[in-house]
Each structure stands twice: as structure tokens, then as C-alpha cells.
Chain A
Amino acid sequence: DSGVTQTPKHLITATGQRVTLRCSPRSGDLSVYWYQQSLDQGLQFLIQYYNGEERAKGNILERFSAQQFPDLHSELNLSSLELGDSALYFCASSVTLNTEAFFGQGTRLTVV
């Protein structure tokens, strides 16, 4: 167990809907990352937050947004969902910007 908690573990929703994925980082970790893993694209970096501020952005769609709250948990919001958004979404956390990150077990999103 990495200490990173993601909820829910599974989510099934319809096209056009909006969902929120939640991540609780390891105790003491200030940095949170979101990754998407799909069969055709592999594991892709979406966005990083450090102590509440956005620090790096990757291949994140405009329909997706994230934030990190004062208690350091993070949420990834996915809206206007499409079939192609079906994937595993991972959260990872690290103590600082440049230390090893630990991944959570992921949220499996299925859009039908």
C-alpha cells in the first residue's frame, strides 16, 4: 500500500456526464500528480499541483480540471464525458517537487 488513497475505485457513467475523482496524498506529501492510463495512449501525465498551486500541465483536455485543496487532497473533474475518456486515472504524490512519487491504486472510469 503506497499510502495514496483514491476514490472511487470504479465509476461507470454515461456520455455527457460529469464526474469527480478524489485523491488523498500520503501524509506529509505536498505534491500531487494526475495521470491517465488507457490501452491506446499508455500512461500520460495530466497535471501537477504543489501545496495548492498548479505547477505543471501535460496532456489535459479542456473538459478536465483539477484542484488541490488546503488540506492537500486533490480532485480531478471530468466533464462532457466521451467514450474515449474511459481509462484508469491515477493520482501520485511526493514530498516535494523532485522526490520520488508514489502512485495510488487508480480509479477505473467507464463511460457508456
Chain B
Amino acid sequence: QKEVEQDPGPLSVPEGAIVSLNCTYSNSAFQYFMWYRQYSRKGPELLMYTYSSGNKEDGRFTAQVDKSSKYISLFIRDSQPSDSATYLCAMSPFDSGSARQLTFGSGTQLTVLP
């Protein structure tokens, strides 16, 4: 069993929809949680970073962490065609915004249709 499981998708939604992307994990040592966005043929870019249970908002993006259930989510409001990408969750036992020893989910491919 993988340490991090992510719904693989693909996910296709109409423009303006609310998107929910999810990951579960099994390693209780994970304390820091990140979401990356990867456009086709590009490197991943960090979207959100959080370490506490609860919600963290940044514009149209909300990251949610439930440590008791070992479950994290990323919500995208008012989705745009430019949001079409692969979204990767990532986790670390360290206080780190860096890429050091992150464990990534397999990614969810999202397409937002105009």
C-alpha cells in the first residue's frame, strides 16, 4: 500500500464549477502538507502549504487537512480553463516548504471546459 493515495481522475468539469481534489495518507509522521500544480511538459509549482488541521484559503484555492482521518483536500472555486493541469498532493514529516523528502501522490488530471 502506498503511503499517499490520490484519486487519479481524470476529472472534467465545466468552467465556474467547484473542484474537489483529495488525498489520503497512512503515515502518521506526516505533518506538513502541500499541493502542487503541474502543467503539461512543465515542472511542478507549489500552490498551497499547510501544517495544521483545518482550512487555509488563498484566493480561489482552499486547502483542508484532517489529521485525525489522515485526509487532505484542495478545493478550487470558480474554476477556469487555465486551471487545467495535474494536481499533486505532497507530504513531509518536516517543517519544510522545500522539496526535501516529500512524498507525492500520483496526481489528479483536471480539465476545466470553457
Residues of chain A at the chain B interface (Cβ within 8 Å): 2, 4, 31, 33, 35, 42-45, 48, 55-56, 58, 90, 92, 94, 96-106
Contact = CB atoms under 8 A, between A and B. Distances in A.
Interface of B: 41-46, 49, 88, 90, 94-107
A105 B102 CA distance: 18
B43 A2 contact: yes
Nearest to B103: A45
A43 B38 CA distance: 11
Which of A35, A48, A103 neighbours the largest number of chain B CB atoms within 10 Å of its CB? A103
Given A42-B105, A42-B106, A90 B44 contact: yes
Contacts of B96: 97-98
What DSSP secondary structure best describes chain B's contact surface? loop
A99 B41 contact: no
28 contacts: A33-B99, A33-B100, A42-B106, A42-B107, A43-B44, A43-B88, A43-B90, A45-B99, A45-B100, A45-B101, A48-B100, A56-B100, A56-B101, A90-B43, A92-B99, A94-B98, A94-B99, A98-B95, A99-B98, A101-B46, A101-B99, A102-B43, A103-B43, A103-B44, A104-B43, A105-B42, A106-B42, A106-B43
Given A98-B100, A104-B43, 7 more contacts: A92-B99, A94-B99, A97-B98, A99-B98, A101-B100, A106-B42, A106-B43
